[in-house]
Amino acid sequence: MSRSVLVLGAGIVGVSCALALQQRGLAVTLLDRREPGRETSYGNAGVIGRSSLVPLNNPGLYAKLPAYLGNRHPALHLDWRRALASPGWMLRFLWEARPSQASARIAAMNGLTASAVVRHRALMQQAGISHRLRETGTLKLWRSAAGAEAARAEQALFTAYGIASEILDRQGISALEPSLNPIFPTGLFVAANASVDSPGAVTAAYAALFAARGGRIVQDEVGALRREGALWRVQTGQGVHEAGDVVVALGPWSADLLAPLGLDPKLDVERGYHRHLAPQDGARLSRPVYDVDGAYFMTPMEEGYRITSGVDLSARDAPDRLRQIDSVTQSAREAFPLGAVIGPTWRGARPTLPDSLPMIGAAPGHDGLWLAFGNQHLGFSTGPMTGEILAALMCGEAPPVDPTPYAPGRYL
């Protein structure tokens, strides 16, 4: 009989794990309460970020803390009640941002993103959705004169990792994206990045590819997880599923499932929002743009122009807080001719570990239990490599990159 595996979670990380395990001949069942790609993986900016090297908690975070902690910057909203309820996590997050850790974290991020575009391109070809891939790069923009220095520093980092980029002045920005209003004196164009017109649809297509190859997808509420003899048993709303191995890839809900097993992965969440708007007067963008001072991504999507907000550090299931998305929507209107809002505002949650790196590998002390979560706001970029690393470890192969930085034992 084939080795059986239950993959819990049908976001981009779970689907990537399922495909990589299936490719190695394992019998895989993919379980989630919703259709594939309808939770966290649905709501991102659609960027496949080869250049996403610097983790959120980098040394530059310390200088921004006064504005962040006072909720005076659209990049972050902090619910102080939540922070005071779990001060240890926040302090660990800040401790992990110290300069001595920066180079190792950047190298670890590079391991996850170096082949992101290549892997997505291959999967889209196999899934028959190559038309959704845009290999037109990304454009980062600064509104202030200080942006020129920031762009040069970022370009130097990218050059060190073999990522070509081009610093643009106001005229260069207009030549690349004529519909942008000329309010940005400095831009950084990174051709190595790519994007898609619907990350949720892409994830769903990868899941359909998994099913077409013989994989089983079950839509049901994932309940208790327990070990009985040589098997893991997962209780769902409609019954019990069992297998010799189980992969927990439930993103921001992963810790809920692991807690009854006595495992605390130090997982927290960042909430984020997006809103779609129609363009005005035939205006168009050819690629995602990131407004550094406005703290939003704007990406041309199937549904319209998607504006994504910064980080909302409120409790995962707290009511919506629309201050940030309202603020960045106004900033986006300053940058680009936007018209009516299309549809409702979306809110999701992103799984975050104190060092901003995912947890990939075996759970210590629990034979057959594997973890793949914590990809923060970069899951769409890092999901395919996460799946490859996990599948290699499960099958006794040498992973494509050193898995040490992502080992669950660092927090478990």
Checking if the pLDDT of 67 tops 80, the result is no
The SS3 call for residue 105 is helix
348 CB contacts (<8 Å, ≥6 apart)? 39, 40, 42, 43, 271, 272, 273
Helices (H) and strands (E) in the chain, counts: 12, 22
Tens-place pLDDT, residues 196-241 = 999 999 999 999 999 999 999 999 999 999 999 999 999 999 999 9
Q: What are phi and psi of 349, to 5 degrees?
A: -130, 140
3-15 average pLDDT score: 97
Q: Which domains does the chain have, with CATH numbers?
A: 1-54+97-133+195-266+353-412 (3.50.50.60)
> Can you give the pLDDT at residue 225?
96
pTM (2 d.p.): 0.96
Q: List 235's β-bridge partners, or say none.
A: 240
Tens-place pLDDT, residues 234-291 = 999 999 999 999 999 999 999 999 999 999 999 999 999 999 999 998 999 999 999 9
Alpha-helical regions (H) of 214-316? 254-258
Tens-place pLDDT, residues 357-389 = 999 999 999 999 999 999 998 999 999 999 999
Give the residue from 114, 136, 74, 186 showing the smallest Cα distance to 288: 136
Give the residue from 268, 255, 252, 210 showing the smallest Cα distance to 7: 210
Checking if the pLDDT of 47 tops 70, the result is yes
Checking if the pLDDT of 1 tops 70, the result is no
Strand blocks (E) in 245-404: 245-248, 268-279, 289-291, 296-301, 304-308, 311-313, 338-352, 359-362, 369-373
The SS3 call for residue 201 is helix
For 23, left (φ over 0), alpha (ψ -120 to 50), or beta? alpha
- pLDDT tier, 142 (very low <50, low <70, confident <90, very high otherwise): very high
